[in-house]
């Protein structure tokens, strides 16, 4: 770590809207999205990150239900996200259940900037029983230029693979956002959930900002951590980790800091790597 | 994370001996090594990890001094480590300043098991001004079968590259040990040093045990964290992080737990990876 001055520039207010999601009330979920985004923008947000599968919910009873709840990219969820990002002139990232041509839908996210759909990404690392209801994505996470900087987006368990974060960082990501649904676990007293520790480490290792937006609420017996967190390029949380409540984390970030990969006067997060060996 | 039962088997007591090192007293450093190892063994240790450059010290004035303090593999440090590991029938890992055929010595470590030298490793990621005094290693970290299990060994800054830990984990390491000299930094109140967070994350991501042995004492103006830590396969510290004092951390570990890479009933730390994509 270093105390060196970092490039300072215009800041972006980033929001992680940790919502309660009800799998049996997709219309209500969409209303909660609108309220949360409007509120985050009113508080200055230029980049808003919503949870994984934010309008559909997560704990599908079976494949048939997942298929029934899935939507095409031009369905109600992405249409709503497009309208919200256009109306507010913001970058907006959220997860949705994407209809596919095959048997299973995708666990996807959309990245929007001021009403333009920049990327749809399909989760490439499936957690738990997701393997029973989702098709797996076959492309790495998108890295897109937006009005606030270069944004990479992946989903939940993806973030636990250092290869994923390294990849997007090497492709120029300044901020990695991860709509998530973190099922609860039981860390020893005083310890953070391992998911949070991994997010912190990935931020520090790559000198990128990391935003995880988790969800809250028990859904068909599954309890969620509600541990949303925003990490700076040194890996320290600058907002959160949240404690299981419905909340919007906000952080004012100088995303330009993620362009400098030097670590003190002699080291560099990328050029110190040894790709000749690994 | 998971509450599933893990294979249980014989345990190994692992010791991280966080020592005060005096660059101007190599003979005293060797005495401290003997005392610390004898003491750790008396407390049950079967695997003992000492700091980086434990007999020479770290803050060399210049290349000439580093050369002068360097030793061949059959020099006094490795000879002493060999004797200690033989006498106690233990696995012992420690850093030393290794003489080379070229201009610069290596920042190396030796892995010994019951008097047998199993590996010498030369640091492949050099920190700070090390680049001015050390030659860089050109081989990845060793992964060796020992009497306590499969041990991988790397040095300090190496551990901050997820590629390094992933590599040794995929090659079968059950425990990753890292003799270190962590220069101090200033985390925000309540936050652990980023080096500790990265060690925790690497343990959790790979479901390996991680042992970092740091040092203490101010050396030519450099202050060390003294943050030695032993992490379990979930990434939680089971001993430490230490708080800057001279101490030996001890943990009784079932190294067999690192053989199981399943994460709950549906996931697997290795086979969930997508090497087809990255």
Q: What is the pLDDT along chain A (278 residues), one digit of tens a residue?
A: 334 444 467 899 999 999 999 999 999 999 999 999 999 999 999 999 999 999 999 999 999 999 999 999 999 999 999 999 999 999 999 999 999 999 999 999 999 999 999 999 999 999 999 999 999 999 999 999 999 999 999 999 999 999 999 999 999 999 999 999 999 989 999 999 999 999 999 999 999 999 999 999 899 999 999 999 999 999 999 999 999 999 999 999 999 999 999 999 999 999 999 999 99
Residues of B in contact with A125 (CB under 8 A): 272-274
pLDDT exceeds cutoff 70 at B92 = yes
Which residues of A, range 258-277, sit inside 8 Å of B by Cβ? 264-267, 272-274, 277
Q: Does B117 touch chain A (CB under 8 A)?
A: no
Q: Check residue B217 and give its pLDDT.
A: 86
- What distance in Å separates the CA atoms of residue A5 and residue A264, rounded to the nearest whole number? 10
CB contact under 8 A, A278 and B235: no
- What distance in Å separates the CA atoms of residue B63 and residue B68, rounded to the nearest whole number? 8
Residues B182-240 pLDDT 10s: 999 899 999 999 999 999 999 999 999 999 999 998 999 999 999 999 999 999 999 99
Domain at A12-255: CATH code: 3.60.110.10
CB contact under 8 A, A273 and B163: yes
Residues of A in contact with B278 (CB under 8 A): 140, 163-164, 167
**Average pLDDT score over residue span B243-255:** 97
Residues with Cβ < 8 Å from B130, sequence gap 6 or more?
B107, B123
Q: Does B169 touch chain A (CB under 8 A)?
A: no
- Compute how many other C-beta atoms are within 10 angstroms of the C-beta atom of residue B19: 24
Which residues of A, range 139-168, sit inside 8 Å of B by Cβ? 139-140, 157, 160-164, 166-167
Burial class (CB in 10 A: 0-12, 13-18, 19+), B266: middle
ipTM of the complex: 0.96
Residues of B in contact with A138 (CB under 8 A): 277
Residues of B in contact with A234 (CB under 8 A): 194
Q: Does B194 touch chain A (CB under 8 A)?
A: yes
Concatenated DSSP letters for chain B? -----------EEEEEEEEE--TT-HHHHHHHHHHHHHHHHHTT-SEEE--TTTTT-S--SSHHHHHHH-B-TTSHHHHHHHHHHHHHT-EEEEEEEE--SSSS-EEEEEEEETTEEEEEEE-SS--TTHHHH-BPP-SPPPEEEETTEEEEE--GGGGG-HHHHHHHHHTT-SEEEEE---B---PPTTPPPHHHHHHHHHHHHHT-EEEEE-EES-BTTB-B----EEE-TTS-EEE----SSSEEEEEEE-GGGGG--EETTTEETTTTS-TTT-
Q: Check residue A6 and give its pLDDT.
A: 46
CB contact under 8 A, B127 and A267: yes
The domain limits of chain A are 12-255
Residue A109, strand partner residues: A95, A121
Q: Check residue B4 and give its pLDDT.
A: 40
Residue B189's closest chain A neighbor by CA? A236
Q: Check residue A1 and give its pLDDT.
A: 35
> From the list A2, A157, A162, which residue is nearest B166 (CB)?
A162
CB contact under 8 A, A161 and B272: yes
**Average pLDDT score over residue span B137-161:** 98
Domain at B12-256: CATH code: 3.60.110.10
Residues B157-170 pLDDT 10s: 999 999 999 999 99
**Average pLDDT score over residue span B77-103:** 98
From residue A115, how far is each of A81, A176, B268 by CA, in Å? 8, 20, 38
Q: Check residue A3 and give its pLDDT.
A: 40
> From the list B131, B163, B193, which residue is nearest A278 (CB)?
B163
Residues of B in contact with A206 (CB under 8 A): none
Which residues of A, range 20-49, sit inside 8 Å of B by Cβ? none
Q: Does A187 touch chain B (CB under 8 A)?
A: yes
Residues of A in contact with B185 (CB under 8 A): 1-2
Residue A2's closest chain B neighbor by CA? B185
CB contact under 8 A, B1 and A194: yes
| Chain A / chain B CB contacts < 8 angstroms | 125
């Amino acid at each position: 770590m270093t105390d060196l001055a970092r490039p300072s520039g215009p800041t972006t207010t980033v929001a992680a809207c940790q919502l309660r999601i009800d799998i049996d009330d997709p219309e209500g979920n969409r209303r909660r999205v609108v309220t949360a985004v409007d509120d985050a923008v009113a508080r200055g947000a230029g980049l808003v990150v919503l949870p994984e599968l934010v309008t559909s919910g997560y704990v599908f009873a079976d494949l048939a239900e997942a298929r029934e709840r899935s939507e095409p990219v031009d369905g109600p969820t992405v249409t709503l996200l497009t309208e919200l990002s256009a109306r507010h002139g913001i970058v907006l990232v959220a997860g949705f259940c994407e209809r596919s041509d095959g048997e299973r839908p995708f666990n996807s996210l959309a990245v929007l900037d001021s009403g333009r759909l920049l990327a749809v990404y399909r989760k490439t690392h499936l957690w738990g029983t997701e393997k029973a209801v989702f098709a797996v994505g076959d492309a790495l996470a998108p890295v897109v230029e937006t009005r606030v900087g270069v944004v990479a987006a992946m989903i939940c368990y993806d973030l636990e693979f250092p290869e994923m974060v390294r990849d997007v960082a090497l492709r120029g990501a300044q901020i990695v956002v991860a709509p998530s649904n973190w099922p609860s676990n039981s860390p020893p007293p005083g310890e953070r959930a391992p998911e949070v520790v991994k997010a912190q480490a990935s931020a520090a290792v790559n000198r990128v900002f990391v935003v995880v937006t988790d969800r809250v609420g028990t859904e068909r017996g599954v309890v969620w951590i509600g541990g949303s967190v925003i990490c700076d390029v040194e890996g320290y949380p600058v907002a959160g980790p949240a404690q299981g409540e419905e909340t919007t984390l906000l952080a004012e970030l100088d995303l330009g800091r993620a362009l400098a990969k030097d670590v003190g006067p002699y080291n560099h997060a990328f050029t110190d790597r040894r790709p000749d060996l690994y």
